[in-house]
């Protein structure tokens, strides 16, 4: 299908009919808050599942907590980050196709993504089967390694649910359908507490029960969203049923999915890597427990910038696909202002609750005091993570995942991780030193992404996006 001769590729009149400049900003703020509010809540509720599992495990003892923590980090590094990253290619593909009103493409992209992520999950499951041996090879404490290996075996079924769940979330998100995502995640989170209690305590499955509970909760969330997509009138144009088109152009899809995965994974891996490195510090059980709680805390609060990043990714991709570059450019300025406000507010809250937060995870006074000491560093981490999250959303909306992957590689693996190793092992700052290194990487990442955003030619990107959607089933510029 080609665009009508009456429909310009760039500069649709709709972006000039909103009123004066101030009202345009207000309208954009309302659009982003409408998207970001449910997306923040939905993302928070989805990710709270693993946090709840770790909390249940934490009350079984320090060894149980450290084993589950290492297993969760290993699962994130080798599996969940990969699935999240590959599914994020739909931010670009579905978002730009929806903006260009090529609705039939969204269902095809979703099916193709589910197929690819399922195949990837099979490979990851094989790797997970050798978790204990891998951790022992890296000389991790044998007790922790064995506990982590058992935990991750019971977590494996979650892989085959988590990938399709992410695809459904992004399929709906790029159409500005966000309330069902939030509500289904809410039902999942509430039920997860009960499921964990039953499996961990009533059925006496301990750590393994907490791991299995993740699969049950993710599956419930997926089923709700899948039913909504198939039954709701909101998706009647974008979901037209199963199609053999999903089996075509797999390699072309991978050309965007792989850099999308690398962009997400390189960042995610660096955070999880510091938890794994904590196992090599003096008193590894304490350090691994505290670093895991710290990571869970950062993951929890980062749902706010994650929602903002998802909102701006949708806004930018929709506007570029519709051929409205000025609207996309305005959206980037609005989101950065919102990001700074949220970063400062949440950072201050983290400092205020620092003496109480540790009790949610452990009864050990040593653990609680250490968490209180590290919370101000986590607050600074969040501020920079907030800014880079929305900038990463802009990058995804434009389809700049390849550039984003190189930025994250440079920021974390040439700066962040080396700095963390120096602070922790050379200057003996322990777990706090690992976090200081991550902050260094975050600062570099934020500055590089900021440069990319301000140097973007929005007219050119809008023309590329809309030409790409109309030119083929997969945007041509994203295949190069």
The answer to the question of residue 2 being in a domain is no
Check whether 140 has a pLDDT greater than 90: no
| Percent of the chain surpassing pLDDT 90 | 37
Name the residue with higher pLDDT: 64 or 29.
29
| pLDDT for residue 349 | 92
* Gap between the Cα atoms of 404 and 459, Å rounded: 20
**Other C-beta atoms lying within 10 Å of the C-beta of residue 289:** 33
- Cα distances (angstroms) measured from residue 221 to each of 48, 186, 256: 13, 9, 27
| pLDDT for residue 48 | 77
The answer to the question of residue 51 being in a domain is yes
| Overall average pLDDT of the 255-271 stretch | 88
**Angle, CA of 209, 210 and 212, to the nearest 5°:** 65
Number of domains within the chain: 1
Contact 328, 320 (CB under 8 A): yes
The answer to the question of residue 15 being in a domain is no
Q: What is the pLDDT of residues 353-362, one digit of tens each?
A: 888 888 877 7
- Residue among 473, 144, 87, 469 nearest 79 (CA): 87
Please report which confidence band the pLDDT of residue 161 belongs to, taking 50, 70 and 90 as the band edges. Answer: very high
| CA atoms in the 13 A half-sphere facing the CB of 244 | 0
The model's pTM = 0.82
| pLDDT for residue 12 | 42
Domain that holds residue 260: 21-479
The answer to the question of residue 131 being in a domain is yes
The answer to the question of residue 419 being in a domain is yes
| Overall average pLDDT of the 82-101 stretch | 90
The answer to the question of residue 3 being in a domain is no
Mean pLDDT of the chain: 84
| pLDDT for residue 17 | 39
Q: What is the pLDDT of residues 433-478, one digit of tens each?
A: 888 999 999 999 999 999 999 999 999 988 888 776 765 444 444 4
Contact 84, 264 (CB under 8 A): yes
* Gap between the Cα atoms of 321 and 5, Å rounded: 17
* Gap between the Cα atoms of 71 and 373, Å rounded: 25
**DSSP per position, 389-453:** HHHHHHHHHHT-HHHHHHHHHHIIIIIIHHHHHIIIIIS--HHHHHHHHHHHHHHHHHHHHHHHH
User: E strand or H helix at 183, and its extent?
Assistant: helix 179-197
- Residue among 477, 335, 465 nearest 394 (CA): 335
| pLDDT for residue 10 | 45
Name the residue with higher pLDDT: 144 or 363.
144
- DSSP secondary structure code for residue 223 in this structure: H
| pLDDT for residue 468 | 65
Check whether 128 has a pLDDT greater than 90: yes
* Gap between the Cα atoms of 165 and 114, Å rounded: 9
- Cα distances (angstroms) measured from residue 264 to each of 179, 348, 439: 25, 27, 17
Q: What is the pLDDT of residues 297-351, one digit of tens each?
A: 887 788 888 889 999 999 999 999 888 999 999 999 999 999 999 999 998 999 9
| pLDDT for residue 365 | 81
Q: Select the highest-mean-pLDDT range: 202-206, 270-274, 390-394, 467-471.
A: 390-394
**Other C-beta atoms lying within 10 Å of the C-beta of residue 118:** 15
The answer to the question of residue 13 being in a domain is no
The answer to the question of residue 12 being in a domain is no
């Amino acid at each position: 299908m080609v665009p009508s001769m009456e429909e310009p590729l760039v500069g649709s009149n709709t972006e000039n009919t909103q009123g004066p400049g101030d009202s345009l900003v207000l309208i954009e703020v309302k659009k982003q808050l409408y998207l970001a509010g449910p997306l923040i809540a939905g993302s928070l509720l989805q990710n709270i599942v693993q946090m709840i599992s770790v909390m249940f495990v934490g009350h079984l003892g320090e060894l149980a907590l450290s084993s589950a923590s290492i297993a969760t980090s290993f699962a994130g590094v080798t599996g969940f980050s990969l699935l999240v990253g590959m599914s994020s290619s739909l931010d670009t593909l579905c978002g730009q196709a929806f903006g260009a009103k090529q609705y039939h493409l969204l269902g095809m992209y979703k099916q193709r993504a589910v197929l690819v992520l399922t195949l990837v999950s099979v490979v990851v499951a094989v790797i997970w089967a050798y978790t204990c041996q891998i951790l022992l090879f890296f000389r991790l404490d044998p007790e922790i390694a064995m506990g982590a290996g058992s935990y991750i075996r019971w977590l494996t079924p979650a892989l085959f649910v988590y990938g399709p769940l992410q695809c459904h979330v992004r399929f709906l998100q790029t159409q500005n359908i966000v309330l069902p995502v939030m509500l289904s995640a809410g039902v999942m989170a509430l039920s997860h507490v009960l499921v964990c209690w039953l499996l961990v305590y009533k059925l006496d499955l301990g750590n393994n029960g907490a791991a299995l509970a993740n699969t049950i909760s993710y599956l419930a969330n997926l089923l709700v969203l899948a039913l909504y997509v198939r039954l709701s009138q909101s998706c009647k144009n974008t979901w037209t049923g199963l199609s053999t088109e999903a089996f075509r152009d797999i390699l072309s899809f991978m050309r965007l999915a792989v850099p999308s995965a690398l962009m997400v994974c390189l960042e995610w891996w660096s955070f999880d890597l510091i938890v794994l490195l904590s196992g090599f510090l003096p008193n590894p059980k304490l350090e691994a427990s505290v670093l895991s709680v710290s990571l869970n805390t950062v993951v929890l609060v980062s749902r706010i910038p994650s929602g903002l990043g998802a909102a701006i990714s949708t806004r930018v991709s929709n506007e570029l696909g519709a051929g409205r570059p000025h609207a996309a450019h305005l959206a980037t300025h609005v989101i950065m202002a919102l990001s700074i406000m949220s970063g400062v507010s949440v950072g201050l809250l983290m400092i205020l609750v620092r003496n109480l937060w540790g009790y949610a995870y452990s009864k050990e006074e040593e653990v609680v005091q250490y968490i209180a000491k590290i919370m101000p560093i986590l607050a600074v981490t969040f501020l920079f993570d907030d800014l880079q999250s929305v900038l990463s959303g802009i990058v995804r909306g434009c389809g700049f995942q390849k550039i984003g992957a190189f930025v994250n590689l440079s920021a974390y693996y040439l700066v962040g991780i080396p700095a963390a190793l120096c602070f922790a092992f050379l200057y003996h700052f322990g777990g706090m030193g690992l976090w200081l290194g991550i902050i260094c990487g975050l600062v570099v990442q934020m500055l590089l992404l900021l440069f990319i955003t301000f140097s973007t030619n929005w007219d050119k990107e809008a023309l590329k996006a809309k030409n790409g959607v109309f030119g083929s089933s997969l945007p041509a510029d994203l295949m190069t």
